[in-house]
Chain A
Amino acid sequence: MLTNERRQVGRAMPRIDAPLKVTGRAAYAAEHSEPDMLHGAAVSATIARGRILEIDSRAAKAAFPGIAAIYTHENRPNAAWLDRSWQDETAPPGHTYRPLQNDRVLFDGQPVAFVVADSFENARDAAAMITVRYEVETPETDLTTKLAERYVPPKKRSGISPPPDPRGQPEEAFKEAHFRISGDYLIENEHHNPMELFATTVLYGADGVLAIHDKTQGSQNVQKFVCNVFSLSQDKVNVINAYVGGAFGSGLRPRHQLFFAVMASLDLKRSVKFEIARSDMFYLSYRPAMYQTVSLGADAQGRLTAVLHDTVQVTSRYEDYQEVVVNWSGLAYRCDNVALTYALTKLDAATPGDMRAPGAASGLFALESAMDELSYEVGIDPLELRRRNFVHFDQNENKQLTSKALRACYREGAARFGWERRQAKPRSMHEGHELIGWGMATGIWEAQLQSAKARVRMSANGQVIVQAAASDIGTGTYTILAQIAAEALDVPAEDVSVQIGQSDLPETSVEGGSWTAASSGSAVDAACLAIRQRLLDMAQKDDASPLKDATVEEVVIRDGHLRLDTDPRAGVAISELMARAGETAIEEEGKAGPDAKQMKSFASYTHSAVFVEVRVDEELGLARVTRVVSAVAAGRILNPKTARSQILGGVVMGLGMALHEESMIDHRSGRIMNHNLAEYHVPAHADIQDIDVHFVQEFDDKASPIGVKGLGEIGVCGVAAAVANAIFHATGKRIRHLPITIDKILGETVGKAA
């Protein structure tokens, strides 16, 4: 075993890429340039539904001789015809949107023309001079008027489980329950808005090879997409996403800026750069609005006897975008009578997309608000209600769990928050003008493992290089991969060079679903194990070696030596082994992926307990979140510093969901009116006060080979409900419509979604 001071994994190591980032040397997709390259700008539709009658670019052409091309649906170069060619790894079923395919406008903000010119300014200003005439059709963009047209998606989206079949007698159980509550919940569209705008720089090589710097969560996903859409062979396309300035899921699918930049580059045989505007970010992707109904029945002790959860969620006309919204309600608590339904309704809008904890963040808002409501009905503490309904297996699939330290989250989170000092009655705590409310919620997210490979190279002089096509979207992947290799090979993590974010590196799934640390981390660990095995093989060539009879499990790498774990004095220098074998370095590949056999009997989730204090100035309708405790059980924590940052960010995003974020759509035109960061409100510094992140101990040897479960999304889960529950505790007002803005707190409607 390693002594503590030599541990690399579990150390709060600062990001190894931090110096590059804070000095501006980490180049993002739009920051790669070449002399004489071309720049693109798009013209966005200003209607949500209709047909393009005419695009007039004469004035633009006359004003800007530097225009290299203007593309519209009338002159777009050929691209793949089949839907399948346009579907990336993460695409939902349907007809993938293809830029400039025809004269149809399917959503507000859809790009309808693309200008390529000799400078960014010329492209942008020329685009502004292009006029488009439309035949406008009446759009439908209001979810609440389209509930009746709900449908169950006929084809399921890969990786997204549909709701389980009902179990028990949910309707009857609900009717006969001792306690019953029921409510409707509405959430509005939310937008990802990572700091970095979507951008693609295509560098057109002399040999026709494209080096594509793209803002994406998966370089190989993009590479395949480009190859399929433009009929190119993989050796002609390198995709690089070395640094990604946040994405939150918006970068899972290839975005239109990629298509345009590659299309123009191939057509003009020139290097092209295209970065979209902030306002266009609002049309790429969003957490979909949805309407949910949750009914809970419980016995006299508050044990759940019925759980019913129905959802109608927005999608576009052309794709059946799906996420897991209601399934959580069947596995969060023990209950034998459960009915869950999930339906879509089509609007004249872009296809929604995965946004940090897609489905769970939304579904848990409804479920955890309902649980809170039930606790008052039963007359017990909301935390106690959750304890009483604790379940230790996955009832949806009837599987064991790889681990579930949620009780520890409840206990330790409550202690850090001071929950025992809570006065049960709503409106019973106040200070000054403000009512104080304490609310809590449970968070759940799936702990997944995806297929990933990694290559590790160890030189005789102790230098280590880790390579994988993984992406670091700001989460700390560079750092934790260095730590894992460093620990396995016993070198300082600072000496490990991590090369990721490139499509020609070992195969890795897109970065999403919180699976990268577990998947790529396990692959690196496996590669290191393979190195150890190689070294052992080398050592055992020598019959006199003290390691002659050892197995790979019995040897460790220490101080540049391969040693017996039980007797560290017995060992041999790695440099010597390599010299003898005539090698200067050893390189091995490792891989990780879901274990189909284990998945038959085990399910794996991360859990959290979120405690929130709000202060509500009731007269003015103003709610402030003054304290949050997020206690998280996520298996092994590789780096407490980057891990904490993930949870902090998740909590902040949850607060935005709870109190601020929504796209304001003018349903007459179907257009988003607040498509800028002045009017689409995310929390500002003043909105964020004390956030205490706590990781409970959780040992898990099944979730992934390295015991890691992942942290990217669990931080946001449950936060919106905890805030709404705290507001109820403060004011006695149950608000079921997010975001909870001043008007809703002032409003008189209680108990009904607006």
Chain B
Amino acid sequence: MKRFDYLKAASIREAVSALAGDPKARMIAGGTNLVDLMKYDVEAPGLLVDINGLDLKRIEETETGYRIGALVTNSDLAYHPGVVRRFPLLASAILAGASPQLRNAATTGGNINQRTRCYYFYDPATRCNKRQPGSGCDAIGGVTRIHAILGASEACIATHPSDMCVALAALDAVVEVEGPEGRRDIAFLDYHRLPGDTPERDNTLRHGEIVTAIRLEGEAAARHHTYLKLRDRLSYAFALVSAAVDLKIENGKISRARVALGGVAHKPWRDLDAEGMLVGREPSAEATDAFAARLLAGAKGQGGNDFKITLAERVIRRALRQAAAGTPQIQHEKAIA
């Protein structure tokens, strides 16, 4: 670990100006990801801006939904009665992640900004374009079990590891950010990005900006949803593939379909055109097969993760079945419904 200066920010403005003024500054929330990265010398912030003193810990009910402060813990969010009632998909996805201890410490802002789990990113002795732009990508051709099958580039094949974000993507959440130029909203689907040739940038947050809240708006499925996660043990492992599904079914036909995949790309993966194929149809096997095929049309394995293409196809099918039947996966049930 490298030595760093520490600032406990008293206001959002103070945090923003500290971050804006120092390109080597990082903000710390729950610290469950950042501290690990610092111990491995992957992150070496010159200045650590502690944002835990900021007034961002509330979940507020708005006219159309909820505004979740960036410092709300994953646990508090997953068990918030209103969220559980109106956005059960989100609560479920959070509970599919990490462990109770980690969820007690992890925050909403930290979760969406957590870094990839790519083995090479974590190991400063390897080449990694995300860690050190332009150095190369040792993951390609290496151990790729947890790497992307969609949207990867020649510069980076990493995945975004969050479960919560997959649900937020399916629910069309909005990210509220504040920076030197003031506040702005970012649609969740535009928040994370594909690696392209600048994999060092995970998302579209600008220099000096911080996430202040996530907004959940509008209608979401109370019954016809699911978060289905497949991993290398039954709990406490990152997703190999996961799917968040939110359906609206009227008169036996799908009138709204939102499906996001986790573990497969540099960001939660959604394809609005493919979702359009489901609308107006019954949730039949043919419809879901065609949808899965379309969603995975561009999928490409890296060797060690080729199986994830088959797995993703099956996860999509099963998740759509669960959601259509109104039997969402219960996270503490280890048999898959």
Contacts and interface: CB of A to CB of B under 8 A. Distances in A.
Interface of A: 46, 121, 124-125, 128, 432-434, 615, 617, 619-622, 624, 659-660, 664-666, 668-669, 671, 673-674, 676, 678-679, 681, 683-687, 741-743, 746-747
B143 A664 contact: yes
A686 B233 contact: yes
A743 B234 contact: no
Contacts of A676: 122
B234 A684 contact: yes
Contacts of A666: 138, 142-143
A665 B334 CA distance: 30
Contacts of B310: 746
Given A617-B336, A664-B145, A673-B119, 11 more contacts: A46-B123, A125-B3, A128-B41, A619-B314, A620-B318, A620-B336, A666-B138, A668-B142, A678-B238, A679-B119, A687-B235
A624 B335 contact: yes
13 contacts: A46-B125, A125-B3, A434-B335, A615-B335, A619-B314, A619-B318, A620-B315, A621-B311, A621-B314, A665-B143, A673-B119, A673-B120, A743-B311
Contacts of A660: 232-233
Contacts of B238: 678
A743 B307 contact: yes
Nearest to A121: B1
Interface residues of B, number: 37
B230 interface: yes
A741 B142 CA distance: 19
A627 B304 CA distance: 31
A742 B335 contact: no
B235 A747 contact: no
Nearest to B145: A664
Interface string B226-263: 00001011111110100000000000000000000000
B335 A433 contact: yes
A686 B307 contact: no
Interface string B134-146: 0000100111011
A623 to B, nearest CB: 10
Contact of B234 (A128, A433, A619, A686): A686
Interface string B112-131: 00000101101101100000
A666 B119 CA distance: 10
A432 B143 CA distance: 35
B311 A432 contact: no
Contacts of A678: 117, 238
A665 B123 CA distance: 13
Contacts of A433: 335-337
Contacts of B314: 619-621
Contacts of A624: 234, 334-335
Contacts of A741: 232
Contacts of A743: 307, 311
Contact of B233 (A46, A617, A671, A683): A683
B235 A674 contact: no
Interface of B: 1-3, 41, 117, 119-120, 122-123, 125-126, 138, 141-143, 145-146, 230, 232-238, 240, 307, 310-311, 314-315, 317-318, 334-337
A620 B334 contact: no
A128 B1 contact: yes
Contact of A746 (B142, B145, B311, B335): B311
Contacts of B119: 664, 673-674, 679
A716 to B, nearest CB: 18
Contacts of A674: 119, 143
A664 B230 CA distance: 19
Contacts of B334: 624, 686
Contacts of B125: 46, 671
A684 B236 CA distance: 7
Contact of B2 (A128, A615, A620, A671): A128
A746 B1 contact: no
A189 to B, nearest CB: 13
Contacts of A620: 230, 311, 314-315, 318, 336
- B2, B233, B337: which has the most chain A beta carbons within 10 Å? B233
Nearest to A683: B233
A172 to B, nearest CB: 42
Nearest 4 Cβ contacts at the A-B interface: A46-B125, A743-B307, A686-B235, A686-B234
B115 to A, nearest CB: 13
Given A617-B336, A619-B318, A664-B119, A684 B235 contact: yes
Contacts of A669: 126, 138, 142
A246 B240 CA distance: 31
B156 to A, nearest CB: 16
A128 B42 CA distance: 11
A731 to B, nearest CB: 15
Nearest to A279: B40
A687 B117 contact: no
B142 to A, nearest CB: 4
A82 B318 CA distance: 64
B1 A124 contact: yes
Contacts of A687: 233-235
